[in-house]
Amino acid sequence: MTEAAARPPGGGASISISHVGMTYQRRGARVDALTDVSLDIAAGSFVSILGPSGCGKSTLMMLAAGLYRPSSGELRIDGKLLEDCFTDAGIVFQTDVLLPWLSILDNVVMPARIKRLDLEAATKQGRALLAQVGLGGFEANYPSELSGGMRQRAAICRALLCEPSVLFMDEPFGALDALTRERMQADINRLWAEHRKTVLLITHDIEEAVLLSDEVVVMSPRPGRILRRFRVDLPQPREPAIRRDPRFHGIVDDIRALFRDAGVL
């Protein structure tokens, strides 16, 4: 099957992580961050990685984005060995990293400028994405004129601008207050339902992971390895009321029990 034929209509890519280990060497010291991690992420699925601080979640994301090379094992995107930076990806970090001297719209359109794409089409797409996350009317504002949640929504629009086949998000809502976080979770769920790209979300928040994902991958303390994978067979897109569903609580409780057994909670 060709790469294109292997993808669902949304155009997400599959990610295959096979026996990956990662050891950092710094000033003579070795840190084993990941050990023997194998994970297949289906094209168009939403997968969350949950694990204690320092267990290698960000490392795993950087490896999957091709920004780091693994010490052992291999990664494949749509079956193709990942040997360089994975350019068809959007990344959202914990802080928005918007450029303060550019307007919100110019920040969102920046990836198209870097990739030398049609700026008129990109600007149209940027405006549409901003409208989708409730930022219509703020296109000309500068990042300093927006709240943290608004800036992070703009950062998500920037990551989605070029219709990447994978969206990586590393604790994207970590710095936000609880109410803004809930709003952002709803935004992400709706955007994912519309775009159907592959999403890899890193979070510390068990309920957030279960709320948004098709699958939750739970990692052990460092050196990180996969303890268990939980399928979340709840209807998508997820309505806020799903938080009251006994099946939702069942999965959350099972994950908590696993963390307790692993000495994390």
Ligand X SMILES: Nc1ncnc2c1ncn2[C@@H]1O[C@H](COP(=O)(O)OP(=O)(O)OP(=O)(O)O)[C@@H](O)[C@H]1O
Residues making contact with Mg ion (CB under 5 A): 58
Q: Report the SS3 class of residue 62.
A: helix
Q: Interaction with ligand X in 10-29: which residues (CB under 6 A)?
A: 24, 26
Nearest partner of 109 among 139, 69, 135, 81, judged by Cα? 139
- Six token digits for residue 104: 């919100």
Per partner kind, with CB cut-offs from 5 to 8 A, the member of ligand X, Mg ion, none near residue 101 is none
Per partner kind, with CB cut-offs from 5 to 8 A, the member of Mg ion, ligand X, none near residue 221 is none
Q: Interaction with ligand X in 221-260: which residues (CB under 6 A)?
A: 222
Closest approach, Cβ 39 to ligand X, in A, equals 15
Q: Interaction with ligand X in 28-47: which residues (CB under 6 A)?
A: 31, 33
Nearest partner of 195 among 170, 161, 238, judged by Cα? 161
Q: Interaction with ligand X in 47-86: which residues (CB under 6 A)?
A: 51, 53-59
Minimum CB distance to Mg ion smaller for 35 or for 58: 58
* H or E, element range at 160: helix 148-160
Per partner kind, with CB cut-offs from 5 to 8 A, the member of ligand X, Mg ion, none near residue 24 is ligand X
Closest approach, Cβ 223 to ligand X, in A, equals 8
Nearest partner of 158 among 191, 202, 200, 198, judged by Cα? 191
Query: Is 156 within 8 Å of 186 (Cβ atoms)?
Result: no
Q: Residues in contact with ligand X, total (CB under 6 A)?
A: 13
Separation of first and last alpha carbons in the chain:
44
* Residue 32: strand pairing partners: 23
Measured CA to CA, the distance from residue 16 to residue 111 in angstroms comes to 26
Minimum CB distance to Mg ion smaller for 103 or for 203: 203
Contact flag: residue 197 with ligand X (CB under 6 A)? no
- Contacts with ligand X by CB under 6 A lie at 24, 26, 31, 33, 51, 53-59, 222
